Structure 1
Amino acid sequence: MKNYFITFEGGEGSGKSTQIDFLNNFLNKKGANVLCTREPGGTPSAEIIRDLVTKGDPNRWSPLTESLLMWASRTEHVEKLIRPSLEEGKWVLCDRFYHSTYAYQGIGHNLGIEKMRSIKNIVIGDIQPDLTFIFDIDPVIGIERTKKRNSEEDRFEKMDLNFHNNLREAFIEISKGDPDRFILIDAELDVSAISEIISNEVMNRLIL
């Protein structure tokens, strides 16, 4: 079975992690060798950066500094984990990738997607997912979900509602960019219904 790189994107509290666990189990049952990872993070060095950007005061970093930290984490992640894993024949399922930076820093923090794209071309080159699921959710509902996690990683969740509304619109626009690669999912559907959509899309687009 050929291996693929699949990413999961969306706003806070959209249920990505639950569906990554589902797809991991689904693929394992089909005999796939699967790596599940996340951004920011994924390697020891990148996880250190994760702590810096996901915890603390929302104004801890300037938008540009925050962006560069994200790209530094991603460079480590791609070079030390994602690219080698793909070369070894593993499927890679990643909770967020560079489209989150396009949305969060490019749109949410007004740095511009073109600037983010220029940095992307420098630091990770042409690597891109084969398939990206974008989870769309009302930010009010998503933030309420995140409060139940009681996690220290709440820096972005504490940003104002306008920021999260802009994020939602950014992800919707991103999803329109390539219908062969992006799949927009209503994250307010029942968990099992979302899982069925994901398994069907993976089967129809990548496996069959």
Structure 2
Amino acid sequence: MLNGWLITFEGPEGGGKSTQVQRLAAYLRSMNLPCTLLREPGGTPIGDRIRQILLDPTLREMTQRTEILLYAASRAQLVEERILPALKRGDVVLCDRFVDSSLVYQGYAPEWDLDEVKAINRIATGGLRPHRTYLLDLPVDESERRLKKRGKLADRIEQKGQGYHERVREGFLRLAAADPQRYVVVDATDSEDRVFERIRADLAAFLGIEEKEVDR
């Protein structure tokens, strides 16, 4: 029986997902709620090796189907090794990207068969779905500005053209519109503190932890 909650964070590059996940984890722990922090691709020894391959900017010959399957393989390992055990313990699992990223980055943006991507990921996850998803929405030009400010070499996904990343943003917004009960769209152009407060307040209400501390 799964007693925990799977909370995912999605959105274009540079939206501040990693920062918000860390801040939300600190908040949950201050409320005596156990939480597990994860990222995709990766999160396990096997997944981290797959991540190195997926993001290597020199591997330009990687086919679209190979990319889809590698992301799914990393996700399958993460679900079995980390997510399901944490949910069984009753943890709040905070995951920086999950299946929706594959639907957008490997399906919608490159105009691949979405049904195929969905089918592969159903196998990879055993049909596991997030309870809540926060979409940190960001225009492509602002995303590019933030990535340049980091001063790091762009990875293989970040190097794809502007048209691809415009479709990424559109794809996420379409997913959010199609599933408003699960998705919360957050304006990531706002300040870090305001973005955090929007997410914190929503999740506190969603989990029912606003009024009092929870001791598990």
TM-score bracket relative to the smaller structure? over 0.9
Q: Is 1:197 paired with 2:205?
A: no
What letter corresponds to residue 110 of structure 1 in structure 2? E
Q: Is the 8 A contact 2:12 2:165 kept in 1?
A: yes
**1:140-188 CA-partner distances (Å, limit 9, x unpaired):** 1112212233445621111100000000000000001221110111110
**1:9-48 CA-partner distances (Å, limit 9, x unpaired):** 0011111011101100110100011110100000000000
Q: Distance in 2 between matches of 1:146 and 1:112?
A: 29
Q: 1:165 to 1:73 in 2, by over 3 A?
A: same
What letter corresponds to residue 41 of structure 1 in structure 2? G
**1:97-121 CA-partner distances (Å, limit 9, x unpaired):** 0000000000112212211111122
Ranges in structure 2 where 5+ consecutive residues have no aligned partner: 210-216
Q: Indicate the RMSD between aligned Cα atoms, in angstroms.
A: 1.4
Q: Runs of at least 4 residues of structure 1 off by over 2 A?
A: 57-60, 147-153
Partner of 2:182: 181
Partner of 2:214: none
Partner of 1:139: 140
Q: Is the 8 A contact 1:58 1:159 kept in 2?
A: no
Which residues of 2 match residues 41-80 of structure 1 at below 5 A? 41-57=42-58, 59-80=60-81
Partner of 1:165: 166
The share of aligned pairs that are identical, in percent, is 34
Ranges in structure 1 where 5+ consecutive residues have no aligned partner: none
| Number of matched pairs | 207
Partner of 2:213: none
Which residues of 2 match residues 85-124 of structure 1 at below 5 A? 85-124=86-125
TM-score with structure 1 setting the length: 0.95
Q: Distance in 1 between matches of 2:167 and 2:15?
A: 15
Partner of 2:129: 128
